Structure formats: C-alpha cells, structure tokens
Amino acid sequence: MTPSSSWAVVVPSLGRPSLRVLLESLAVQEHQPSAVVVVDDRRDASTALDVSAYPSARVLRGGGRGPAHARNLGWQALDAEWAVLVDDDVVLPTDWSDRLLADLAAAGPEVGGLQARLEVPLPADRRPTDWERGTAGLERAAWATAEMAYRRAALAAVHGFDERFPRAFREDADLALRVRRAGWQLLRGNRLVVHPVRPSNPWASLRQQRGNADDALMRRLHGPQWHEDAECPPGRLPLHVLTTGAGATALAALLGRRHRLAGLAVAAWLASTLDFAVRRIAPGPRTRDEVLAMLGTSVAIPPTAVLHRLAGAWRHRQAGPWPVPVRAVLFDRDGTLVEDVPYNGDPALVRPVPGAAQAVAALRRAGLRIGVVTNQSAVARGMVTRQQVDEVNARVEDLLGPFDTWQVCPHGPDDGCPCRKPAPGMVAAAAADLGLRPYEVVVVGDIGADVDAAHAAGARAVLVPNERTLAAEVEAAPLRAGTLGEAVELVLGGRR
C-alpha cells in the first residue's frame, strides 16, 4: 500500500450480540484503521449501542433505514482512501489486517473495489439445515459487502448505495454494476473473513421472499440480463410462478365446478410443491422439525415470492437511476434562515441571514419545494407561547416568501419526543407532507442535530457552520458549505 493511502472501517449494525465479537476481532489486529464508524441502524435507538469492545469507534444513527443508507452514512463520514465495509455478524481472523493491506497494496488505480473471501462454518456432526446452506451460499456470492473494500472515489463517482433497496443482498449487486459501468474494476482479494450462521427460526426463508421486490427494482434499473451481469444466480421465481398459477387455476376451477380441470391443476400444484420440498429436505438433517418446516414453507414460498415480485414491479415501475433528483429542501430556522435570537417570540427581531432571500428564491425558480423544521423548546420552557412561535414563523414568510411545509417541535430536551432534532420525526413528517420519500429531501442546518435528524430520517444534509457550530460537528458532517447560498448551489448542482 502506498504511503498516501489509508483505510477505515464502516460497520452497519442492528445491535446484535455478534457486534461485540466483530469489534473484539478488529481490536486485536496488528494494523489498525484510521477510523471505525459503526452506524446504529436500529429503528429504536433509545438505548446506546454497545461499542465498548472498540472504545474509539464513532457511532452514527441510521434510523432503521436499511443497510444501503447505513453504509452511505458511514463511508461519507470517512476521511480515508478506502472504506472497508464490514457486517456486524462476521469475525476477522488474526491475520486479516495483514492480508487486507496486501490486497490494497496490489490494487492499481483502476481498481474500485476488493472483495474478501468468505468462509461460512457449517456443523461437522450433521448435515446443514436449509438456513445454514443458504448462508453458506455467501461463499460464492459476488461483491458481497459482508466484507468488501471500496475506494471512496469510486463510491463518490456513483453516489454510493441506492437507498431504495431496503434489504441486504441486492444493494451490493446494484452498486457493483454501477461502479463497473463507471469504469472501475472490481477484484477478489486474498484475505479471509469468517461469517458464522446467525440463529434463525423455521420461517426465515419465508421472510426472505421480500427480496423479490428488490429483484424487480434490479430488473427495472439494469434490464432482464441483470443476473448475468451481476453474477447472481437467477433463483426459482419462474417455477414459483408456475406453482402459484397451478394453485390459482385449481381454486378457480373448483369454484367454477370444472372438476376435471381442477384435478389436473391440483396435481400440477402438488407435483411442483413436492419437488420443491424434496429438494430442500433431502440435503438437510431430516429431523422432524426441519421436515415440517420445509413442508410448510414450501407451500407458502411460491405465492409469497410472486406477490412480492408483483408488488415490487408496481412500486418501482417508474424508477430511474440513482441518486434520485432532489425535490425538496428543508431548512432549520434559527441560525440558518434567520439570525439566531435565543427563545425568540418577537416577530420584530426576525432578521434573515445574508443571502437567505436569494437562496430560497433560487430553489423556487428551480421548481423545488421548500420547508422549515425547527426546534422550539421555549414553548416547553414557558418562555414563549405557541402563538408567538407562529407569529415569528409568519414574519419569516413575510421576509422570505411562503414555505410549503412548516414542522415545529415545541418540546423540551428531556421530553423524549420523536420530533425534536436530532430525532427524525420532523424531517419524516415534512417529507410525508410534501408527498416525497426522505431520500428526495435535503436538510440544510447549522448544527449537528440538523444533520443527524436528516440522516436518521433517510434524507441528505448540508451543514452551514456558524459561531455556535461545534468543531466536532463540522468534522462529522459529510457535506458542508460556507454560506446558505453555497449550500443551495451544492443542492442545485448535485440534484442527481
């Protein structure tokens, strides 16, 4: 690895116990990353994520938006040439960092990503279950981000992961396709990572069928040949369609009293279902519980897969390339749009910051929606009334023009409300009020709470620091601007 190159680690986490095991295996490596960012992707982050096994790890809130959003938060927060993406359920062998550095050193400037080899330990004393065999398939998966190092320049060139993929397994395939089409090479390295099989239950395979909706998005974005291009196995969806069609035909024929057709359709459905079940049961341990689970899920999986695929095709019928265009900008009020007057309840004290009128006018001319998300704890403290807050907001509109949505949190810091920034409630509510997805929205604010609220909601963010912005908040912000006008230029210049 060249002296100028550096690497850092990003770990999206759901707070599983395996996170501690991963961090412990990272802490004992001979070579340490320049930074470790753990993105807490739990929907309920009311309790702190335990990263004590790696005390210097920095924790960001992902807001439960899924692994694509969490990884984007992580790599954008780094100041390193390489972002090593590591899942929270893998274990790093003791020589992992040595091999990682060797892989990075061998990578030429045209290499955008380096995948680790995955090893999935299976039981030595019995045949693996269906779930265990499915996990073992990761050993053959192409471009799996269970552990993959991406050059940050490559990620930036394609705007990172597509956050419309809410689950794992397809967001990494989509990223790989876009990175390669942008001219980068993706290679497999020589380092090894261990991926133990997570505990599960008999119905896990049924829940996995939700991924068929993601396949519909892959087809929309990359065409019908996406499986071959992304080196992904095609799966059984065509057979599931036939099985489901046979079952639907049998039901319709019975209702129509067409008994011969019903009999043929039932026979076809039964043969297809039994074939599917046998293929899943035969290589397994064949215990009573496993056999019953395979029989039950083999009946339920085909129609479930088809329904998810149809739902995904409808949901993504108009999907375009990532990133989607920015369609709205939400501003913090005090310190961002207007001069910060602590606990202000007097409209006469409202003064727009320099360039505010021009900035919001530029957004309106560009056809973007605009709104305000503002904490007003003075109401909870009894220092101003809600009516006074509304009068101040009205004065802001008098000076800057109308806004499409206003979101005001009147609660105090200790009220535990879901709307007060850095919680995501106001940003999510504003997006819903405008009829938009959070990833179509940018939040512009002056402190870290504005950025954190945006990221927790799934929106983008631009920080415009001022005298009350902490140095750590400035350093942590993935995107910064010197003035409000520069922030708007960033938004308009990077709408895609």
pLDDT category, 476, cuts 50, 70, 90? confident
Token couple for 242:
């036939």
In this predicted structure, which of 12-21, 25-34, 455-464 has the lowest mean pLDDT? 455-464
Is 450 a known active-site residue? no
* Residue listed under structure tokens 């409000």: 484
At residue 455, the pLDDT reads 87
Q: Do residues 37 and 57 touch, judged by C-beta distance below 8 A?
A: yes
Mean pLDDT of 122-130: 94
pLDDT in tens, 246-295: 999 999 999 999 999 999 999 999 999 999 999 999 999 999 999 999 99
Mean pLDDT of 329-341: 96
Tally of residues, the chain: 496
CA distance 271 to 266: 8
Mean pLDDT of 179-191: 96
At residue 5, the pLDDT reads 64
Mean pLDDT of 321-331: 94
From the number of C-beta atoms within 10 Å of its C-beta (0-12, 13-18, 19+), residue 292 rates as: exposed
Fold topology of 7-200: Spore Coat Polysaccharide Biosynthesis Protein SpsA; Chain A (3.90.550)
Q: Do residues 88 and 12 touch, judged by C-beta distance below 8 A?
A: yes
> What percent of the chain has pLDDT above 90?
87
pLDDT in tens, 216-239: 999 999 999 999 999 998 889 999
pLDDT at 311 exceeding the cut of 50: yes
In this predicted structure, which of 57-61, 333-337, 373-377 has the lowest mean pLDDT? 57-61
pLDDT category, 2, cuts 50, 70, 90? very low
- Beta strand pairing status for 185-194 and 147-151? unpaired
At residue 494, the pLDDT reads 63
CA distance 95 to 87: 18
CA angle 61, 64, 69 (to 5 degrees): 75
Q: Which residue has the higher pLDDT, 125 or 3?
A: 125
CATH 3.90.550.10 domain extents, the chain:
7-200
At residue 272, the pLDDT reads 97
CA distance 184 to 490: 26
From the number of C-beta atoms within 10 Å of its C-beta (0-12, 13-18, 19+), residue 256 rates as: exposed
CA distance 226 to 62: 29
Distances (CA, A) of 304 to 105, 252, 269, 300: 46, 19, 15, 6
Order of strands, sheet of 147-151, starting from the edge strand that comes earlier in the sequence: 58-61, 36-40, 7-13, 82-86, 147-151, 111-119, 185-194
At residue 53, the pLDDT reads 97
pLDDT at 331 exceeding the cut of 80: yes
Average confidence score pLDDT of the chain: 93
pLDDT in tens, 145-176: 999 999 999 999 999 999 999 988 899 999 99
pLDDT category, 108, cuts 50, 70, 90? very high
At residue 1, the pLDDT reads 41
Token couple for 65:
């938006």
CATH 3.40.50.1000 domain extents, the chain:
328-493
Is 332 a known active-site residue? yes
In this predicted structure, which of 25-34, 238-247, 413-422 has the lowest mean pLDDT? 413-422
Which of these is catalytic: 89, 214, 334, 446? Answer: 334
Give the closest residue to 472 by CA, choosing from 46, 32, 77, 33. Answer: 77
User: What burial letters (b/e) apply to 441-477, b meaning 16+ CB within 10 Å?
Assistant: bbbbbbbbbbbbbbbbbbbbbbbbbeeebeeebeebb
* CATH of range 328-493; options 3.30.450.20, 3.10.20.740, 3.40.50.670, 3.40.50.1000: 3.40.50.1000
At residue 4, the pLDDT reads 42
CA distance 458 to 419: 14
CA dihedral 335, 451, 37, 210 (to 10 degrees): 170
C-alpha atoms less than 13 angstroms from C-alpha of 27 in its C-beta half-sphere: 13
At residue 495, the pLDDT reads 52
In this predicted structure, which of 45-49, 190-194, 236-240, 346-350 has the lowest mean pLDDT? 45-49
At residue 3, the pLDDT reads 37
> What percent of the chain has pLDDT above 70?
98
Which of these is catalytic: 87, 172, 332, 446? Answer: 332
Mean pLDDT of 402-412: 96
Report which residue type is found at 402.
P
Query: Cα–chain-centroid distance for residue 397?
Result: 35
